[in-house]
Amino acid sequence: MTLKQRGYLTVQDDSGDEAVFEFNRGLEISGELQKQFIMSNRGQIIQEVYQQLIDDEDASAPELEGRSRRKGFSIDGGGGVWSQTITFQTGLESEDIMWGDGSSNDQLDASGPDVDPTRRRDIIEDWLARSRTDSQRLAKWYYGEWTDGRFEGTAGAFNQPMFVSVDEFNMQSPEIDQNVNSFEGNITISRVQPFPEDIPGTINDAVDRVSDALGGITPW
C-alpha cells in the first residue's frame, strides 16, 4: 500500500536506540539522480583515435561520414548520487504523532499532540546530530512504495523502506513572537547500500576485505 499522506524517518544513536519522526503536514518530496560514469565524455578520445585508424573507404562512405563525431563511448559502473529532499511542516498537530523514541523523556522525545514546535525542532535536530547514518547504521525512509507496512497499511511494491544516509537538515521558523505555532524544515537524504551481513561489524574490517579483493593495489 502506497504511503501518500505521510512519511516516516527512523534513525539510531550509538546505543542502538531508535527514533521515529512522522511527517504529515506540508509534506513534499523532490528527488535527484546524478550519475558518475567510469568513462563518459573522455570516451571521445577513444572514438577520435578509432576514427583516424579506420579505412579511408569506410570513413568516406555517405552513411558513415561524420556520423560518429562528437560522440564518445560510455561506461556506467553504477556510481553517482540518488537523493531526495523531504520538505515538511511541524507544529501544534492535534494528532498523536511520533517524534522521537517514544519514551516521553524531554531530551529524547517530543511525540504526541499539541507539542510546542520549538521542542520538536530541538529534538529532531539533536537526534540527527547524534545519529550516524551510513551503510553500517542505516536510516530508513518510509514513503510511497518504499514501505514494509511497519507503520500503517500493507507493504508497498518494494516491500522495504528506503535505506538512506541523512546528509543535511535545516528548519526555519517565522519571526519570533508569541504566536509561533509551526516550523518548516527540510532533510536531504541519499540512498545507501547496506553492508552485506557476512561482513564483520566494523568499518575497518569491511575496508580490509575490500583491500584484499583489490589485490593490494594502491593509488601511488
Map residue 28 onto helix, strand or coil: strand
Main-chain dihedrals φ then ψ at residue 147, nearest 5 degrees: -160, 145
Q: What is the mean pLDDT of residues 55-83?
A: 62
Encode pLDDT of 138-174 as tens digits.
Answer: 899 999 999 999 998 899 999 999 999 999 999 877 6
Map residue 191 onto helix, strand or coil: strand
Residue 32, C-alpha cell as written in the block: 535527484
Q: Are 20 and 8 in contact (CB under 8 A)?
A: yes
Q: Domain coordinates of the chain in residue numbers?
A: 3-34+79-213, 39-75
- Model's pTM, two decimal places? 0.74
Q: What is the mean pLDDT of residues 184-204?
A: 79
Encode pLDDT of 97-129 as tens digits.
Answer: 999 999 999 999 999 998 888 889 999 999 999
Residues 6+ apart with CB under 8 A from 92: 114, 115, 116, 117, 181, 182
Residue in 19, 164, 172, 152 with CA at minimum distance from that of residue 98 = 19
The secondary structure of residue 199, as a DSSP letter, is S
